[in-house]
Structure 1
């Protein structure tokens, strides 16, 4: 018989964001200390249609690093973008949205686990 410790409660944080109502560096999702992030994804629901100044590409950051998870997302078309980075947080952290001059609507999702574990037997 084999035993193994496994994390057993996943958390999905979801934020629907109208980018014309945010500022650069907007802290969209708060993550508790000890969070182990498995996936960060951005779904562009409504592409950018703002006239005038061109929208800057969308970056999804972590704390002070503006493009930690995803960099240079084009907001002109619908689509989903997923980060390949997996990381653990030692302290409370923020997932931030960084762009300017956009009226796009996005959905930001963060899948993570906390420290809780159970022992399984195989």
Structure 2
């Protein structure tokens, strides 16, 4: 996230969907290291990890994602084999352009509560069982 409130996003090369940058950790990586590497690989932007803002489980695929709030410290925007486009979006643009299951990650990152724990089906949040 930049000081002006815009957030770094990518349009995925494989499906054309807009998402926040991220990926799978290497075996030897700590989560913060993997976050820095994935953001740099997908966007060309170097970041510093500030804090964990959420844990999200895709119930359909069994994937758990950790989401960290970061700030840019170097590099320059560029696409990669994983990203067809890279852009700094407003929170409103994120909400309009991303599926609910991904846009909520930004909403949670903007909150001072947290970290949040949520489950989703790949597109929409799933109500938690009582």
TM over 0.5: no
Report the TM-score range of the alignment, normalised by the length of the smaller protein. Answer: under 0.3
Structure with the higher strand share, 1 or 2: 1
Structure with the higher helix share, 1 or 2: 2
TM-score, scaled relative to structure 1: 0.25
- Structure number with larger C-alpha Rg: 1
| Structure with more relative contact order (C-alpha pairs < 8 Å, separation 6 or more) | 1
TM-score, scaled relative to structure 2: 0.24
